[in-house]
Structure 1
């Protein structure tokens, strides 16, 4: 689908950017850890684990992107992504979650499993970027885990993009403000988010 060297760089940039907008970890430090096995100064063990986890699961998803995205698959990805970072990695949240500065009601903890089953069924045959934009917004308002929802949501976008044969978008600190605005607006119209994804490929 894509040349190996180009794909490797794309995956690193996507993983680094996704982590950067959540934790502030810069791409140069990300690459030092995953490419050179060098831990930057003042990096705690959890920060290193966050880098290694997202890098490994990004590679795994890229290698097996044709596999169907199931509820269990999402939980397994989250378990790898958040391993050593939270004590309930791979398990749905049992508490109400709140998104700061967003007026959106998230799925009640008791309804997460059922809502995510419906999500899997609804988006199991992605065809276009508009479908990916819709599914991304829907997943984020389900917000099934206690932490790491943004990262796992963007990993799902990665898998979905590869499934329809397009380069996944790179989202980082340079475009995160627009990304968050368009993600919230996707409740009304997902087209701008889909266009954003295409322009970041």
Structure 2
């Protein structure tokens, strides 16, 4: 659908922005050096290095899933979590939480462990049903935003829920044929506001602005 150069660029920016939102200190240029040039440009914390390197393993898997039109289900979510948090967390990659967790500063309580599978299955069914009737970009974006906010409130894993949720947003965009939504670190405060308040309308307008910027990025690689 897009050029290989664009997909490389998408991988670098997904890795940089999604990890930076969670506190990773590597710059976008340093992330590119690690993922594309295979050079570690300076002394870095190993956890930060692995957080970025994991996107090098994740990207070809995600693109293969797009090509195969792999539906989003619990196994795919667990697979993406396993890929994105290898060697970076104390918990077992790909395993749901077994003790309650909280989101710092949030005004909601995430789903308790015993309800994670049930709530995710309901989330999956709702996604499939809504996408079945979504016919245009605006409707698809609204579905993606609603499902992202719901996913983050379920918070199914002990850690790395944000990175998995944002990766699923990009996957949904590619799977359903719309311009990818890449949430940038510079807009972290606005993004977190929509998450914490469950402001779907605000999140939709936010993501549509990101799509417009992404279209320009895509066009630059097509020239």
Is this contact kept in 2: 1:14–1:169, CA < 8 A?
no
What is the 5 A alignment of 1:70-85? 70-85=73-88
CA distance in 2, matches of 1:95, 1:78: 17
CA distance in 2, matches of 1:163, 1:9: 18
Q: Paired residue for 1:16?
A: 16
Q: Paired residue for 2:114?
A: 110
Q: Deviations over 1:127-156 (max 9, x none)?
A: 310000000000000000111000000011
Q: Deviations over 1:24-54 (max 9, x none)?
A: 3321111111111111322133222111112
CA distance in 1, matches of 2:174, 2:35: 22
Number of residue equivalences: 199
The farther-off stretch of 122-131 and 55-64 is 55-64
SS at the partner of 1:200? helix
Residue 184 of structure 1: CA displacement? 2.4
Q: Deviations over 1:66-124 (max 9, x none)?
A: 21011011111111111111231100011111111111111011111111111111112
The farther-off stretch of 91-100 and 161-170 is 161-170
Q: Paired residue for 1:198?
A: 208
CA distance in 2, matches of 1:140, 1:104: 10
Q: Paired residue for 1:129?
A: 141
Is this contact kept in 2: 1:16–1:26, CA < 8 A?
yes
TM-score w.r.t. the length of structure 2 is 0.83
Is this contact kept in 2: 1:78–1:89, CA < 8 A?
yes
More helix by share: 2
CA distance in 2, matches of 1:20, 1:121: 31
Give runs of ≥4 in structure 1 deviating > 3 Å. none
Gaps of 5+ in 1: none
CA distance in 2, matches of 1:124, 1:89: 26
CA distance in 2, matches of 1:168, 1:134: 16
Gaps of 5+ in 2: 135-139, 212-223
TM-score w.r.t. the length of structure 1 is 0.92
CA distance in 2, matches of 1:137, 1:162: 19
Is this contact kept in 1: 2:170–2:182, CA < 8 A?
no
Residues 104 and 13 of structure 1, relative CA distance in 2, 3 Å threshold: same
The farther-off stretch of 129-138 and 96-105 is 96-105
